[in-house]
């Protein structure tokens, strides 16, 4: 089987790459140093329709196919992982509303998200809750014509500038999702700085102190928060991150090819040294392998194959660990220069490490993938009834 992009996808790829080269790459290092994303960059993302990438056209979005959306994430990740993370969380909110929102919620929020009039953020993580996301401690109680939220969220990407948050809280012990606007009474937002990587992603901590949320801001049904809404959105988040990791790895490869073609050691260019060629070979091979896994996950998502979920976890696991390995080698190839902010590879290394933590850590992916492997093995090798019972125990 020959894997080849369509003419439309190739044209989109060229458009994305040109945009990133012109509008993102020249500013990425400064954004990292300032821990800030300029509003003009966000406006340019919106003007190109990128913030409405997965939103249906009826609501003003582009409704890209999953491969095209993945390529967009790769190119943005190649330029700046922080700005790519804006697309990730914004799209996660849009996806959740598109799948689980009411008719009125879709009609009101999706056009605003598509145009970039408002920015959406995903509020799940808490100071005491990370990988065990279903155990959120933030609570929601019924109060008149709405709900009252109390608790705390942390590490909220672009929380400093988001206009609306998809917040997960427990209502009568069941995780439930709510839309909370930034100006809601009882909500306070505290910037987080000094993070290791994706420093321009403007993280924030959210405090809910008797924060009032109208009844119509409930997303989905009570108790649907984690198993349905968060799980579905996180799957899209992992897909975006996986492609973003391919972008980081590609950026490292391009930086190393340029550097080793210009710098000499022992009277020859670095690219003439066999050990350098070995590292470049490994980079090329692993970038292609990660990209192919992302293509597979994207194709399965496009045809609504249920296997897309585990394939997305595999893609995210391989792409994130590969990006870290390639970025580490890129710094090594650059030597002392690789440890300086004058060269982007040190930023790539810091950003790549974050990719192994967000949207399901490397270890969580290992657990998930292994469980899937055991289940598939049992279902395929043991008689049906017994195999199913054993698989359910894994």
Any long-range contacts for 370-379 (C-beta under 8 Å, 24+ apart)? 372/310, 372/313
CA distance 265 to 284: 23
Using DSSP's 3-state secondary structure scheme, residue 191 falls into strand
Length of the chain: 394
Which residue among the candidates 75, 205, 356, 359 is catalytic per the annotation?
359
Whether the CB-CB separation of 93 and 113 falls below 8 Å is answered with yes
**Is 359 among the residues known to form the active site?**
yes
CA distances from 222 to 176, 206, 331 (A): 5, 22, 48
Tokens of 185: 């009474």
Using DSSP's 3-state secondary structure scheme, residue 208 falls into strand
Using DSSP's 3-state secondary structure scheme, residue 358 falls into coil
DSSP string, 38-60: -HHHHHHHHHTTGGGTTS-GGGT
CA distance 209 to 138: 10
Tokens of 152: 């705390």
Whether the CB-CB separation of 279 and 271 falls below 8 Å is answered with no
CA 181 from centroid of its chain's CA atoms: 22
User: In the chain, what's the furthest Cα-to-Cα distance?
Assistant: 78
CB contact set of 126 (below 8 Å; sequence gap of 6+): 136, 137, 138, 151, 152, 153, 154
Q: How many other C-beta atoms are found inside a 10 Å radius of the C-beta of residue 172?
A: 11
CA distance 237 to 97: 14
CA distance 287 to 321: 11
Catalytic residues, by residue number, are 359
């Amino acid at each position: 089987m020959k894997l080849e992009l369509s003419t439309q996808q190739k044209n989109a790829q060229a458009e994305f790459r040109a945009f990133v080269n012109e509008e993102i790459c020249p500013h990425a290092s400064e954004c990292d140093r300032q821990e800030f994303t300029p509003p003009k960059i966000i406006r340019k993302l919106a003007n190109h329709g990128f913030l409405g990438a997965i939103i249906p056209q009826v609501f003003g979005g582009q409704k890209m196919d999953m491969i095209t959306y993945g390529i967009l994430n790769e190119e943005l990740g190649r330029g700046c992982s922080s700005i790519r993370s804006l697309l990730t969380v914004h799209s996660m909110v849009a996806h959740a509303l598109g799948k689980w929102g009411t008719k009125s919620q879709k009609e009101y929020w999706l056009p605003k998200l598509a145009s970039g009039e408002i920015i959406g953020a995903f509020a799940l993580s808490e100071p005491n809750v990370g990988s065990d996301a279903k155990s959120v401690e933030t609570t929601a109680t019924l109060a008149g014509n709405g709900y009252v939220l109390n608790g705390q969220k942390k590490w909220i990407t672009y929380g400093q500038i988001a206009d609306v948050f998809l917040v997960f809280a427990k209502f009568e012990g069941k995780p439930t999702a709510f839309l909370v606007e930034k100006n809601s009474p009882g909500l306070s937002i505290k910037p987080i700085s000094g993070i290791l990587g994706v420093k321009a992603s403007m993280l924030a901590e959210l405090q809910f102190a008797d924060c009032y949320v109208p009844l119509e801001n409930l997303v989905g049904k009570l108790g649907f928060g984690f198993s349905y809404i968060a799980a579905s959105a996180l799957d899209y988040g992992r897909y975006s991150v996986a492609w973003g990791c391919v972008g980081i790895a590609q950026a490292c490869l391009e930086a190393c090819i340029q550097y080793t073609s210009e710098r000499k050691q022992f009277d020859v260019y670095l690219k003439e040294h066999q050990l350098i060629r070995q590292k470049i070979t490994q980079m090329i091979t692993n970038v292609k392998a990660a990209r192919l896994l992302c293509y597979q996950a994207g194709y399965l998502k496009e045809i609504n194959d249920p296997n897309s979920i585990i394939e997305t976890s595999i893609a995210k696991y391989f792409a994130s660990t590969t990006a870290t390995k390639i970025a580490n080698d890129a710094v090594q190839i650059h030597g002392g220069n690789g440890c300086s902010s004058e060269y982007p590879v040190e930023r790539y290394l810091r950003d790549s490490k974050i990719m192994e933590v967000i949207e399901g850590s490397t270890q969580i992916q290992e657990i998930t993938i292994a469980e899937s492997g055991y289940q598939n093995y049992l279902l395929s090798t043991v008689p049906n009834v017994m195999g199913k019972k054993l698989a359910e125990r894994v």
